[in-house]
Amino acid sequence: MELHAKVWKYGDDVDTDVIIPARHLNTSDPVELGKHCMEDLDANFIQKISAGDIIVAGKNFGCGSSREHAPIAIKAAGISCVVAKSFARIFYRNSINIGLPIIELGDAAAEINEGDVLSINLEKGLLKNETQQKQYQLEPFPPFIQEIMSAGGLIAYVKERVASNA
């Protein structure tokens, strides 16, 4: 899968309360959640993004609550990938489980600016900053996580396993 899109840049410790505030957690409808994505951090987020855009952030992205509604909201809003210096661990698991592509880029995340255009090839593990003409080799996911991802998320993976045991 090749992604090619514009960057919206945020800082460190973006928490799940600003990604999707609790006042919207009385629904699990992705479309409804997507409408309120990031609204307490950036009130114009939904208006300004285009489908396929990429979020780039600092350290500890997705910290706080375990609400899976956070990656669901980001995915439903049309964001194709989140790139960060580091991710909070529950958000990391949740993103893999629901099939939201995430990339832990370390210190290099700071080199990317708002408005840059990135090309990302997840299979080849390549991230190219088209605007700055810089290329980054990504750390591959561990094989077990690749299995979950290639099955299409954790539920599909468990479903296959349950069916093969039956």
Partner 1 sequence: MGMTMTEKILAAHAGLPSVKPGQLIKAKVDIVLGNDITAPVAIKEFNKIGVATVFHKDKIALVPDHFTPNKDIKSAEQALTMRQFAKTHQISHYYEIGRMGVEHVILPEQGVVGPGDVIIGADSHTCTYGALGAFSTGVGSTDMAAAMAIGETWFKVPETIRFELTGELQPLVSGKDVILYIIGMIGVDGALYQSMEYGGPGLANLTIDDRLVMSNMAIEAGAKNGIFEVDDVTIQYVEGRTERPYTVVGPDKDANYCKTIHIDLSTITLQVAFPHLPENTRSIEDVGIVPIDQVVIGSCTNGRISDFAASAEILKGRKVNPNVRVIMMPGSQAVYLEAMQKGYLEIFINAGAIVSTPTCGPCLGGHMGILAKGERALATTNRNFVGRMGHPESEVYLCSPVVAAASAILGRIAGPKEVI
Q: Which is nearer to partner 1, 86 or 129 (CB)?
A: 86
- Min separation Cβ 36 and partner 1, Å: 12
Could you give the angle at the alpha carbon of 61 between the alpha carbons of 43 and 150, nearest 5°? 110
Q: Which is nearer to partner 1, 54 or 88 (CB)?
A: 88
Q: Which is nearer to partner 1, 50 or 165 (CB)?
A: 165
- Min separation Cβ 78 and partner 1, Å: 20
- Min separation Cβ 132 and partner 1, Å: 27
Q: Which is nearer to partner 1, 5 or 90 (CB)?
A: 90
| Structure tokens that stand for 102 in this block | 């995430």
81, 34, 88: which is closest to 56 by C-alpha? 81
- Min separation Cβ 143 and partner 1, Å: 9
Q: Are 55 and 87 in contact (CB under 8 A)?
A: no
79, 125, 117: which is closest to 99 by C-alpha? 79
Q: What is the rounded distance in angstroms from the CA atom of residue 23 to the CA atom of residue 138? A: 36
Q: Which is nearer to partner 1, 80 or 86 (CB)?
A: 86
- Min separation Cβ 161 and partner 1, Å: 7
Residues that bind partner 1 (CB under 8 A): 13, 15, 17-18, 21-23, 25-28, 40-41, 59-60, 63-69, 72, 86, 88-90, 93-94, 97-98, 142, 144-145, 153-155, 158-159, 161-163
Q: Give the full edge-to-edge strand order of the sheet including 2-9.
A: 102-104, 81-84, 54-57, 2-9, 117-121, 126-129, 134-137
